[in-house]
Structure 1
C-alpha cells in the first residue's frame, strides 16, 4: 500500500467535508490492477500482555470492513476501529471505488457485485498475510456474501475468479441474498408511509437535505442532532456515484449458495432498522443456516448509532468464540 503524506492529501481531498482521522489511524491507498487507488483507513491492534487476553502463539485475524451506499471507510473509523484495535485486532476499512477518498472508475456507477468483490479480494490477496474476518454493512453485506460465494475451496478447480480464504464473515444490517426488492415490496404493502419515506430518503437522496429524514432512516431517535448533522454531511460527500446499477444488480441475484460449513458467518441486525426489516434479517440467517442476532434499541447505522457499543460487543464475543474454536 502507498502511504500518502498528510500534507499532500490535504490538497487533494475528494470529499469536500474530509474525515479527520483519529489517533492511531492512518489513511493508505491500495492500487488496484486497473491503476485506480482504493482508500484504506488502518488502525493497528493493540498488543495484549495479559495472558488471559492473549494466548501464547495465537494471532487474531485482521478485520476488513466494507461499507454500504452513501458511506465510506470513515463510518467504521469513528467507533469500531478504535474499539476492535483496542481488543487486539488489526483493522482495515475500505472505501469502495467512487466513494470516500477512493478513485472513481469510468461510467455512471461505481461497479457491480463482481467488480466490488474482486477489488476487495485484490486488497486481501496482496496486503493481508492471514485469512481475515470480512465485515459488511447494508449493501456492503451483499458484497461480502458474493465474496464468500466465490472463495476458493478444495472442491473447486484453481481459477483466478475465486477469492482468498476468510477466517469468518460478519453481516451487519445486511441486504439479504435476494437483494432489496423484497424489502421494498413488503414496505409498499404493509407500511406504505414508511415505503414512501425510504424511497424519498434513499432513491431521491432526500436524507442529504432533511435532518429528520436522515435521522429516521439511519439512526435511533435518541441520537443527538449535532451528530446526525455531522454524519449527514459526510454521507452526502461520501458517494460521488451510485454504488450499483440496481436493475442490473437485482437481475444478478440471489447470490450463489455456499456450503454451510465453508465460512463461519455472524448475521447481525437491529430492531429499529428502518431499511432492513425482520423478514430480511431472517432470510439472511436462513441462507447461512445460523440464527440471526437482532439488537434492541439500535438503528440501521449500527456502527455510528448512539448505541454502537451493543453491536461491537456482540461481534467481539463472537470473534472470541471463533478464535477459541480455531485454537482447540
Structure 2
C-alpha cells in the first residue's frame, strides 16, 4: 500500500489555526537521541504525561514533549474540530522539533498518531492502549464498559471510572484526582473515530510498538492484537495495570520498556 503524497482535501480546506499547549523536559546533556512527542487520548491533556513520563524520558537522554490536542488542556478551544485537525496539530508540532521525532499516542491519541505517521517521517511510533476506531472496536469497548463509553457514541462525554483507567495499586485519592481532570473531545471527532478505517502506512514504514494491559477495561486484548498485527508485531503487555499506563502506580515499567526498545535498535534501523 502506497503513502499518499498529495492530499487535495487538506489543501482545499486547511485546518484552522489554534494555540497549542506543549510541555517539555530536556536532558541535562544532549546525547543526540531523537525527541519524543507524547500525544494524549481524548479527554486527557499534556498534564497526563507531565506527571511522570516527561521527566523520566528526559532523565534517560530523550528530549520529551507532550501536546494537548486542540480543545484539551491549555490548548485553544475547538468544539467542532475533527480528527484531521488533531492529526494536523501533531504533525505541525513534530515538524517544529529539532530532530525527527518518535511519536507516542495514548488511547484515541494513538489513532491520531497513526494518522500523523502517514504524514510525517517519524523515527518510530508507539501506540499505548490504542483506540484505533471503527465500529468493531467501538462495540467491543462499549460491551466492556457501557456506562463509561456508550454516551460518547451519541456525542456525549466519555466517563471512565477509576477501575477503567487504573489498576488496584494506585491509591483511590490519586485516581480520583486524575479522573477529575478529564475533559472531553469534540463530538464530531468522536463520531469520526467510529467510522475510521484501517490506518494508512507510515511514511517510510517506521517501526511501531503497541503496548497495553490484559486488565484494561476499555480496550480488549483482541483490539490490541489487531493493532499490533497491522504493524507487523505483537503487543507488549503489562498485567495489573489499567488503561492509563502513564498515570498508573507502575507507570515506569511501560515507559522503560519503550525507551529500551528505542535504545536497543528501533530508531537506528530507520
TM-score bracket relative to the smaller structure: 0.7 to 0.9
Any gaps of 5 or more consecutive residues in structure 1? 1-31, 49-53, 151-162, 208-212
1:111 to 50, 67, 82: 82
Any gaps of 5 or more consecutive residues in structure 2? 1-13
Deviation string, structure 1 residues 32-87 (Cα, Å, up to 9, x no partner): 98442100011112327xxxxx5xxxx10000010001100000000101110100
Matches of 2:48 and 2:16 in 1, distance apart? Answer: 25
Deviation string, structure 1 residues 119-177 (Cα, Å, up to 9, x no partner): 2111222x212111000000000011111123xxxxxxxxxxxx3x211111100113x
Matches of 1:307 and 1:42 in 2, distance apart? Answer: 22
Matches of 1:221 and 1:200 in 2, distance apart? Answer: 24
- 1:227 maps to 2:199: no
> 1:1-328, aligned counterparts within 5 Å?
34-47=16-29, 59-105=32-78, 108-112=79-83, 114-125=84-95, 127-150=96-119, 163=120, 165-176=121-132, 179-186=133-140, 192=143, 194-199=144-149, 205=157, 207=159, 214-235=161-182, 238-239=183-184, 241-242=185-186, 244-258=188-202, 262-322=205-265, 325-326=268-269
Deviation string, structure 1 residues 242-287 (Cα, Å, up to 9, x no partner): 274333333342222458x610111111121111110000001110
Aligned partners of 1:201 and 1:217 also within 8 Å = no
Aligned residues: 255
Q: Give the 3 Å change call, closer, same or farther, for CA 182–38 of structure 1 in structure 2.
A: same
Instruction: Give 1:10's aligned residue.
Output: none
Aligned partners of 1:201 and 1:214 also within 8 Å = no
3-state secondary structure, aligned to 1:276: coil
Q: Give the 3 Å change call, closer, same or farther, for CA 257–301 of structure 1 in structure 2.
A: same
Q: Give the CA deviation at 1:316.
A: 1.4
3-state secondary structure, aligned to 2:136: helix
TM-score, scaled relative to structure 1: 0.71
3-state secondary structure, aligned to 1:116: helix
Aligned partners of 1:172 and 1:267 also within 8 Å = yes
Matches of 1:202 and 1:230 in 2, distance apart? Answer: 22
Aligned partners of 2:141 and 2:149 also within 8 Å = no
Larger of the two Rg values belongs to structure = 1
Matches of 1:324 and 1:258 in 2, distance apart? Answer: 14
Matches of 1:120 and 1:228 in 2, distance apart? Answer: 28
Higher RCO by CA contacts (8 Å cutoff, separation 6 or greater): 2
TM-score, scaled relative to structure 2: 0.85
Aligned partners of 1:173 and 1:268 also within 8 Å = yes
Aligned partners of 1:214 and 1:232 also within 8 Å = yes
Instruction: Give 2:4's aligned residue.
Output: none
3-state secondary structure, aligned to 2:20: strand
